[in-house]
Chains A and B, each alone.
Chain A
């Protein structure tokens, strides 16, 4: 009985690993196939004659490097601003009694469920009037508003768990209130803030609808949008190898973050569900 369970678990483990990693292995394999190989059709999984040519071509492609720069800049700035605003709001929600608290939480919930496409038209119109179309702030502002709900909810769930009495205890022991806050609360709150930042970054890195609708040139086009325009004039013959290479390159930051912080990401994603 025990043995059968253990075998089942091993098989399940192997299946999960294949499920999660197969498409990743596939896109990596594809990135090493040459244009000649994909041109004549190459139905086998692994490249016949691995080459770095696609990587060289992609790194030399100014459109791609510009998109990469835009993606990093826009995602980092949105994350930073969103986390600052969300921390203030979540602190207030977790610690203070004030009118409109439930309203803020409901608003955040509604926005989290909002169909982004429904806003594209009016935003497109509004952004052209305000000269925000095809600029960094033009994407940063919507990314902030769409990541705020996630950040506020994650953070307020997290802040609620902090034993705030410790702050007073520190004050009794002679610390000023600022010292007490900085030395006691900030270190306790930091992991939660960090988790919210990672989830926010993932959202901004992944976002597609706004990125293709509110940008028109490499001045602000992010990687997901740039990738979708890579297809070229002939839809029947997309540049397989180069697209795969670009995909591998934009996936690297995600994998690095996941490898470093997997525990925190899981905690952030499920904290609410566990307590529900």
Chain B
């Protein structure tokens, strides 16, 4: 979510090539000062990411289990091969993709509805803003517990409140089979992160010019037409930023699953599989290979969405 601020600001960054053309003493000094000021942040960031990632790349080529360290051997890409032909890996990847696609889609719709309401509300703005920030600020683990207990067969209120639905009764066991458990996990994820989505969309919405919407109204456009033809195309950039960062965030899902099912009923995600291999089974070699694959997937995913985002941004500009 951090980076939401990021991409949007990126185009503003002035190209630093101008410094290279007129290299006076002053610009050399400025260059040095600038690099000195960013150095501590860069060092800390690299220490915890670049170095361990290289380490993971290296370890992924070994058969290396911490419980049997003497068995360590260099086995080339065998770990990757083991992973790629394991159905569990593909099953977990499928789970992760389902969670990502469903939660982001639902959040986009609900988040947009919330943003529309917040845009309209003239009373109690502070109140609504405070309320919407509470799910954002609450620890994911707490949110997961709250929903786990809500869906609980003995102590939850979901079964008694929604008993009128044909497929829910007092003894519906949500964590007893795959899809209901996935549903509970996704509800928890959606509850926690929709506010973030709606704030980003609200920011986008406030950029759509009221004049254009009014003009469309005068021309006789219906509410739907105004929404699809005027409002949404004009906030495409904000929507893409929201989708990019929520999508990547959802792909890393871990906390909710860990708390709610511990991976039972085949609800494991890619992150969970990696964690289980490394920390619980101490399979450093195999786990490192999984880490590398996870990292590559996120990289490809980011690249794809950014690519999509750039195209759309250009289009949005062309239309405006």
Contact = CB atoms under 8 A, between A and B. Distances in A.
B131 interface: yes
Interface stretch (A50-58, A112-120, A165-173, A176-184): A112-120
Interface size class on chain A is 35 or more
Contacts of A265: 133
Contacts of B42: 89, 104, 107
B70 interface: no
Pick from B38, B42, B118, B284 the residue with the most CB of A within 10 Å.
B38
Nearest to B37: A92
A254 B137 contact: yes
Contact of A228 (B16, B132, B251, B259): B259
Pick from A17, A117, A145, A202 the residue with the most CB of B within 10 Å.
A117
Contact of B117 (A12, A92, A240, A269): A12
Interface string A51-91: 00000000000000000000000000000000001101101
B303 to A, nearest CB: 10
A217 interface: no
Nearest to A84: B40
Interface stretch (B79-87, B98-106, B156-164, B178-186): B156-164
B48 A38 contact: no
A97 B275 contact: no
A236 B14 CA distance: 58
A141 interface: yes
Interface residues of B, number: 119
B108 interface: no
Contact of A276 (B8, B47, B142): B8
Pick from B45, B199, B279 the residue with the most CB of A within 10 Å.
B45
B252 A97 contact: no
B48 A123 contact: yes
A100 B37 CA distance: 12
Interface in B1-56: 1-14, 16, 18-20, 27, 30-35, 37-38, 40-42, 44-49, 51-53, 55-56
26 contacts: A12-B121, A19-B194, A20-B132, A27-B145, A33-B155, A89-B38, A96-B31, A101-B34, A109-B6, A113-B245, A117-B254, A117-B291, A120-B274, A120-B275, A121-B56, A121-B59, A121-B279, A144-B48, A147-B2, A153-B6, A153-B9, A199-B2, A206-B139, A208-B139, A273-B238, A275-B9
Interface of B: 1-14, 16, 18-20, 27, 30-35, 37-38, 40-42, 44-49, 51-53, 55-56, 59, 113-114, 116-118, 120-121, 124, 126, 128-143, 145-147, 149-150, 152, 154-157, 159-161, 170, 191, 194-196, 199-200, 202-204, 206-207, 237-238, 241-242, 245, 248, 251-252, 254-255, 258-259, 262, 271, 274-275, 278-279, 284, 287-288, 291-292, 294-295, 298, 302
Interface of A: 5, 9, 12-13, 15-17, 19-21, 23-24, 26-27, 30, 33, 38, 41-45, 85-86, 88-89, 91-93, 96-102, 104-105, 107-109, 111-126, 141-142, 144-150, 152-154, 156-157, 160, 199, 202-203, 205-206, 208-209, 212-213, 223-224, 227-228, 235, 240, 243-244, 247, 250-251, 254-255, 257-259, 262-263, 265-266, 268-276
